[in-house]
Chains A and B, each alone.
Chain A
Amino acid sequence: MKLAKFTKFREEKFGGVLFETRAEKVFTLNPTATAVVREIQRGSDMPLLLEHLRERFEDRGTLEPEALAFIAELRSQGLLEE
């Protein structure tokens, strides 16, 4: 799993942005979403990604399903590739 060829990621004070340069669409990300994308960029697999998220954010049992849903959304938007 990695960012798609035409997707650029930049960290910002508020979190981050994904810029899909073919469709010229911008997606703004909060800190948690930014952390997910950062892990994807680092090449972390899902267990490692979740481990790092739990180290950084409080988990009330929703972190994993929300992270999975977010990743599925990134895929559906064409922002991720295998």
Chain B
Amino acid sequence: MSQASSSSQAESPPVSQAQSPQAPSPSVSDSAADLDAPLYIAWQLTNECNLACLHCIEESGPGKAFADELDRTQIFAILAQCTSLQVPYLSLSGGEPMLHPLFFEMSAYLCASGTQLKIETNAHCLDAARCERLAELGVKAVQVSLDGATAATYNRMRARGDFAQALAGIRLLRSAGVPVEINFSPTRFNVHEIEAVIDLASELGAYSFYTGRTMYTGNAVKTWHLLAPSEEQYRSFFAALHAKSAQYRGRMRVYFHEQGLLEELRYRLRHPAALLIVLPNGLVKLINALPFVCGDLRHQSLTEVWSHFRRAWADQRVAQFVEQLAADPRRTAALHRWVYL
């Protein structure tokens, strides 16, 4: 999984941000805490990946699959609960989800059940037949990580990756009629290409573009000296994003999170997203940017995990961790040392 993803980062779109169209009577619930089930499940299907990206939040890569990843029976038991509880939206990510042997079977199950499905991929496992298959299934979107407008920057960021192959994959998706979103993670060596990569996304036919700040976690802990943009670079980056957002209004949505991780997490403490992050082994995280695990779908039902998820956000250890980040932002380096709530 890359950084600045639209679905599973702390800097993701505010799935829980309840809004209410004018209703025929004045009483409107405004809390995701009242929901009977999650609205969104971000499922990291495997930690295996064909690439070894410098910034990967999950430290995915070749040979990095968890030893205890879910088996077929466990996976389809979870899927059955998702459809039974009418979870409307689910994303499959990784690692590289298309490397998983059950990827298409799972996708077919979800699409047939009416779940809106997003795939988050590096686009290196796509060919014409696979793109046609995704189109036939009716996936809502395929989100492709494109961290540069040139081979020089993209290939530097995505070790073992190939810029031309990523572009070819996106073009195949669009030829098949699959909606495409583009995701970009800024670093000190690609941040200057933000305008060019947004233009490229538009030329490729993407309908959305996502970005935010790159997080100090996962592989980025070891490579931070190569990655971290300066505050001045970030200022120029966000200025360019504001301009591009206006330029593409009505044609392609340019979505970005300017605020830092701490502000985002403080907001989440008050307004938890109706989103469960499912790890390859069935553990469920509170949010990707925190180390807390609030359930285990191998041993608990989705309803039980959802119930505990809502209580877990009120656990004092969560608020304490967030405030400790204010004093020491580098605490995100330890997000993979899971803390069970």
Interface residues of A (CB under 8 A from B): 6, 8, 10, 12-15, 17, 19, 21-33, 36, 53, 57, 62-63, 66-67, 69-70, 73-74, 77, 79
Contact = CB atoms under 8 A, between A and B. Distances in A.
Interface of B is mostly: loop
28 contacts: A6-B116, A6-B140, A10-B36, A12-B34, A12-B36, A13-B36, A19-B89, A21-B88, A22-B141, A23-B13, A24-B6, A26-B18, A26-B39, A28-B19, A28-B20, A28-B29, A29-B20, A29-B21, A30-B23, A30-B26, A32-B24, A33-B21, A36-B24, A53-B24, A66-B23, A70-B21, A73-B21, A77-B21
| Most interface-central of A15, A62, A77 (chain B CB within 10 A) | A15
Nearest to A69: B22
B208 interface: yes
Interface in B17-42: 17-32, 34-37, 39-40
Contacts of A17: 35, 39
B136 to A, nearest CB: 16
A63 B26 CA distance: 12
Contact of A63 (B15, B24, B39, B88): B24
Contacts of B86: 10
Given A24-B6, A74-B21, A33 B28 contact: yes
| Most interface-central of A24, A29, A33, A53 (chain B CB within 10 A) | A24
Interface residues of B, number: 39
B331 interface: no
Interface of A is mostly: mixed
Contacts of B21: 27, 29, 33, 70, 73-74, 77, 79
Given A6-B116, A23-B13, A30 B28 contact: yes
Contacts of A13: 34, 36
Contacts of B174: none
Contacts of B19: 25-28
Contacts, number: 110
Contacts of B29: 12, 14-15, 28-30
Contacts of A30: 23-29
B140 A66 contact: no
Given A22-B208, A25-B17, A67 B140 contact: no
Contacts of A8: 88-89, 116
B207 to A, nearest CB: 8
A57 B24 CA distance: 10
Contacts of B24: 30, 32-33, 36, 53, 57, 62-63, 66-67, 69-70
B93 to A, nearest CB: 15
| Most interface-central of A13, A33, A62 (chain B CB within 10 A) | A33
